[in-house]
Structure 1
């Protein structure tokens, strides 16, 4: 048989044939133009323009199956999960079906299911501006308005004042939105791999900022040692969420939580995909595991490589957000042996706009340390260095 991969990533971030080097089957690749030219020995490569909105991806996949049947559809990006689930249902293939994909993608549906088992903010799907009006009357301000299927904090707004609410009315609410009560507290994220509804691997990180309000703010995500008292508590919380939602089969997950001053864990959201913002690469630096590789191999029925013991170090990823202005200077490299990855995302001379998502960054930097104390000390040293070496003139 064969497998079909739906991909919108660049080739450097999607080495499927390397991950599947021991797979004795043909691999068909449907990909966006971002993948780039390739001479890799795929059985088929088909490139689609306007990938996210191009309905030919699904139609051509059906036609391909009629002539060259495949046993699996694999998709790693959140915006492809619904598309892949529709194909599986149409062709009766194993893997995440539409009910599960919708539950992990639609945040209102997700909270309706999860709220029966864990604490969630008060929320409501917005079918009209009157729903928002009534929600504010009942729960007060601040509130958070966001797309039910949003990613990376895009188009997410914290409304704190009546004046900001009036701006929403003036602008027009639009469709596909939900509102929820704002939760005060620290924010954590948990990433991992699940098989069915069993967590097989987990990593936990703490945000230095509120992702709901990250636009234009620096953020550091510090991965916690598995020996941290919070670690097992949060694993147990997310396990309850996973059990409350329809099983995606074998999948990675990315889940965010609020930790209140009253020591309560409140669910923000969960997705059946790998974390962005270089968090998954940070996990790789700490644990030596590539979550996307294990996700793909697990779906194909191949052996997995999961950490057998606690990691010898901790890690964190720093994101410097974009801000309006012209880039005057940015380092080509960083002079620290404890930096395991440095990715500058802009060039000298480039004109920048404000950040549009939580991962819209000038750079990302992954650092490691023996423990939390050394990691924070190295972060402070890094920030002092970048303050001197990065120059962005005001717009």
Structure 2
């Protein structure tokens, strides 16, 4: 038989043939132009323009199955999960079905299920502006408005006062949105691999600021030691969430939880895919595991390489947010042996606009340490260095003779 991969990633981040080198089957790849030129020996490879909105991907996948039957569909990106689930149901293939894909994508459906057993913020699907005014009257301000199938905090905003609410009415509410009560507190994220509804591996991290504020603030995601009480508590909570939702089969997951000043854990959301924002790469630095590789191999029924025992240290990822202006200076590398990855996302001379998602960064930096104290000490050293070396001229000063300011 064969397997079909639906992919919109660059080749460097999706080496499927390497991950599946011991799979004795043909591999078909349907991908976006972003994958790049390749001479890799896929049995069939097709490139589709406008990948996310191109319905021919599904139609051609059906035709392909008639001519060259395949037994599995692999899809790693969140925007492909429902597409892949529809195809599995039509073709009678194993893997995540539509009920599960919708529960992990549609946050209203998700929270309707989870809130029966765990604490969630008040929420409502917004079919009209009247739904929003009713929600505000019931819950008060602030409230959060976001796409019910969104990711990376894109098109998400906090409405804190009547003036901002009036601005929403003025521009028009739009469609595909939900409202949610704003939760004060810290935010944690839990990542891992599940098989059925059993967690096989988990990592827990803490945000230095809520994801909604990453668009405007520097953020550090610190991965916690598996021996910590918070780690154990959160893994147990996420296990409950996974048992509540329809099983996706073999999948990675990315969950976020609020911790309030009253010491209450409140569910935010979960996705049946791997974390973005280089969090998964920081997990790799700490645990020596590639979650996407193990996800793909698990779907195919191949042996997995999952961590055994506690890691020798800890890791974290720093994200510097974009802001309007022109990049005047940016280091090409970082002089620290405890930096395992430095990814500049912009170039010197580039004009920047504001961040549009929680992963829209000037740079990401992964650092490692022996424990939390050493990690925080190294983060402080990194920030002092970047304060000297990174220069972004704010947009409002670009037409003046003023010197660039240090970011």
TM-score between the two structures when normalised by the length of structure 1: 1.00
Q: Which is further off, 287-296 or 213-222?
A: 213-222
Tell me how far apart the structure 2 counterparts of residues 66 and 228 of structure 1 sit (CA, whole Å): 52
- Report SS of the residue matched to 1:137: helix
* Aligned residue runs from structure 1 range 146-161, under 5 A: 146-161=146-161
Tell me how far apart the structure 2 counterparts of residues 242 and 128 of structure 1 sit (CA, whole Å): 31
For 2:89, the equivalent position in structure 1 comes to: 89
Tell me how far apart the structure 2 counterparts of residues 31 and 93 of structure 1 sit (CA, whole Å): 20
For 1:132, the equivalent position in structure 2 comes to: 132
For 1:355, the equivalent position in structure 2 comes to: 355
* Aligned residue runs from structure 1 range 129-278, under 5 A: 129-278=129-278
* Aligned residue runs from structure 1 range 12-161, under 5 A: 12-161=12-161
- Report SS of the residue matched to 2:120: coil
Tell me how far apart the structure 2 counterparts of residues 218 and 111 of structure 1 sit (CA, whole Å): 29
Tell me how far apart the structure 2 counterparts of residues 154 and 237 of structure 1 sit (CA, whole Å): 26
Gaps of 5+ in 1: none
CA contact under 8 A between 1:256 and 1:267: conserved in structure 2? Answer: yes
Tell me how far apart the structure 1 counterparts of residues 237 and 377 of structure 2 sit (CA, whole Å): 31
Aligned-pair CA distance for 1:262: 1.1
Tell me how far apart the structure 2 counterparts of residues 117 and 339 of structure 1 sit (CA, whole Å): 41
Partner deviation per Cα, 1:352-391 (whole Å, 9 max, x = no partner): 0010100000100000000000000000000000010011
For 1:289, the equivalent position in structure 2 comes to: 289
Aligned-pair CA distance for 1:94: 0.2
Aligned-pair CA distance for 1:231: 0.7
Aligned-pair CA distance for 1:394: 1.0
- Report SS of the residue matched to 2:294: helix
For 1:298, the equivalent position in structure 2 comes to: 298
CA contact under 8 A between 1:328 and 1:349: conserved in structure 2? Answer: yes
- Report SS of the residue matched to 2:152: coil
- Report SS of the residue matched to 2:194: strand
Aligned-pair CA distance for 1:284: 0.1
| Structure 2 residue 11 is matched with structure 1 residue 11 | yes
- Report SS of the residue matched to 1:79: helix
For 2:400, the equivalent position in structure 1 comes to: none
For 1:333, the equivalent position in structure 2 comes to: 333
CA contact under 8 A between 1:278 and 1:317: conserved in structure 2? Answer: yes
- Report SS of the residue matched to 1:254: strand
Aligned positions, number:
395
Aligned-pair CA distance for 1:216: 2.1
Partner deviation per Cα, 1:74-121 (whole Å, 9 max, x = no partner): 000000000000000000000000000000000000000000111000
- Report SS of the residue matched to 2:167: helix
Tell me how far apart the structure 1 counterparts of residues 387 and 137 of structure 2 sit (CA, whole Å): 44
Tell me how far apart the structure 1 counterparts of residues 345 and 144 of structure 2 sit (CA, whole Å): 29
TM-score between the two structures when normalised by the length of structure 2: 0.97
- Report SS of the residue matched to 1:46: strand
- Report SS of the residue matched to 2:86: helix
Tell me how far apart the structure 2 counterparts of residues 332 and 39 of structure 1 sit (CA, whole Å): 30
Tell me how far apart the structure 1 counterparts of residues 376 and 390 of structure 2 sit (CA, whole Å): 20
For 2:382, the equivalent position in structure 1 comes to: 382
CA contact under 8 A between 1:158 and 1:213: conserved in structure 2? Answer: no
* Aligned residue runs from structure 1 range 365-376, under 5 A: 365-376=365-376
Aligned-pair CA distance for 1:3: 0.2
Tell me how far apart the structure 2 counterparts of residues 273 and 280 of structure 1 sit (CA, whole Å): 11
Aligned-pair CA distance for 1:213: 2.4
For 2:399, the equivalent position in structure 1 comes to: none
- Report SS of the residue matched to 1:366: strand
Q: Which is further off, 207-216 or 86-95?
A: 207-216
Gaps of 5+ in 2: 396-407
Partner deviation per Cα, 1:260-302 (whole Å, 9 max, x = no partner): 1111100110000000000000000000000000000000000
- Report SS of the residue matched to 1:292: helix
Runs of 4+ in 1 over 4 A off after TM superposition: none
- Report SS of the residue matched to 1:118: coil
For 2:401, the equivalent position in structure 1 comes to: none
Q: Which is further off, 209-218 or 286-295?
A: 209-218
